[in-house]
Structure 1
Amino acid sequence: MTTLPLTHARFRILETIRIPIAVIGGAFFPAASMLFFVVPFAGDDPVGATFATASMVMFAVMTSCLFNYGVGVAEDRAQPWDPYTRTLPAGPAAAFAGRILSGMTFMTISLLPVVIIGWLFTAATVSWTGLLLAVGAVVLGALPFTFMGLAIGYALPMKAALAVAQIIFFPMAFGGGLLSAPGQAPGFVETIAPYLPTRGAVELVWAAVGNFDVDPKSMISLAVWTIVMAALAAWAFRRDEGARFN
Structure 2
Amino acid sequence: MTALALTHARFQLIETVRIPMALIGSAFFPAASMIFFVVPFVGSDRTYSTYATASMVTFVVMTSNLFQYGIGVAEDRAQPWDPYARTLPAGAAPRFAGRILAGLVLMVVSLLPVVLIAAVATEATVGAGAFLAALGVVVVTAVPFTLMGLAIGYSLPAKAAIVVAQVLFFPLAFGGGLMTAPGGAPGFVEAIAPYLPTGAAVRLMWAAVGDFGVQPASVAALVAWTVAFAGVAAWAYRRDEGRRFS
Q: State the 1:19 CA deviation.
A: 1.1
Distance in 2 (CA, whole Å) between partners of 1:214 and 1:10 is 37
Structure 2: which 5+ residue stretches go unaligned?
none
Distance in 2 (CA, whole Å) between partners of 1:67 and 1:159 is 13
- Residue 159 in 1 paired to residue 173 in 2? no
Distance in 1 (CA, whole Å) between partners of 2:180 and 2:229 is 26
- Residue 104 in 1 paired to residue 104 in 2? yes
Answer with 150-159 or 211-220: which moved more. 211-220
Q: Where do 1:63-142 residues align within 5 Å?
A: 63-142=63-142
Distance in 2 (CA, whole Å) between partners of 1:145 and 1:18 is 25
Q: State the 1:231 CA deviation.
A: 0.7
Structure 2 counterpart of 1:75, one-letter code: E
How well do the aligned residues superpose, as a CA RMSD in angstroms?
Answer: 0.7
Q: State the 1:6 CA deviation.
A: 0.3
Distance in 2 (CA, whole Å) between partners of 1:144 and 1:16 is 22
TM-score, normalisation: structure 1: 0.98
Structure 1 counterpart of 2:24, one-letter code: I
Q: Can you list the C-alpha shifts for 1:123-164, whole angstroms capped at 9, x where unaligned? A: 000001110110001111111111000000000000000000
- Residue 208 in 1 paired to residue 208 in 2? yes
Percent of aligned positions with the same letter in both sequences? 67
Residue 19 of structure 1 corresponds to which residue in structure 2? 19
Residue 218 of structure 2 corresponds to which residue in structure 1? 218
Contact 2:8 2:94 in 1 (8 A): yes
Distance in 2 (CA, whole Å) between partners of 1:181 and 1:6 is 39
Structure 1 counterpart of 2:62, one-letter code: M
Task: Give the number of aligned pairs.
Answer: 246
Distance in 2 (CA, whole Å) between partners of 1:139 and 1:200 is 14
Q: Can you list the C-alpha shifts for 1:45-78, whole angstroms capped at 9, x where unaligned? A: 0000000000000001100111000000000000
Distance in 2 (CA, whole Å) between partners of 1:95 and 1:140 is 21
SS in structure 1 of the partner of residue 68 of structure 2: helix
Residue 35 of structure 1 corresponds to which residue in structure 2? 35
SS in structure 1 of the partner of residue 178 of structure 2: coil
Q: Can you list the C-alpha shifts for 1:213-234, whole angstroms capped at 9, x where unaligned? A: 0222211111111110111111
Residue 171 of structure 1 corresponds to which residue in structure 2? 171
SS in structure 1 of the partner of residue 97 of structure 2: helix
Structure 1 counterpart of 2:7, one-letter code: T
Q: Can you list the C-alpha shifts for 1:82-125, whole angstroms capped at 9, x where unaligned? A: 11111111111111111111111111111111011000000000
TM-score, normalisation: structure 2: 0.98
Residue 188 of structure 2 corresponds to which residue in structure 1? 188
Contact 2:194 2:203 in 1 (8 A): no
Structure 1 runs (4+) deviating above 6 angstroms are none
Structure 1: which 5+ residue stretches go unaligned?
none
Contact 2:200 2:221 in 1 (8 A): yes
Contact 2:66 2:146 in 1 (8 A): yes
Q: Can you list the C-alpha shifts for 1:151-194, whole angstroms capped at 9, x where unaligned? A: 00000000000000011110000000000000111111001111
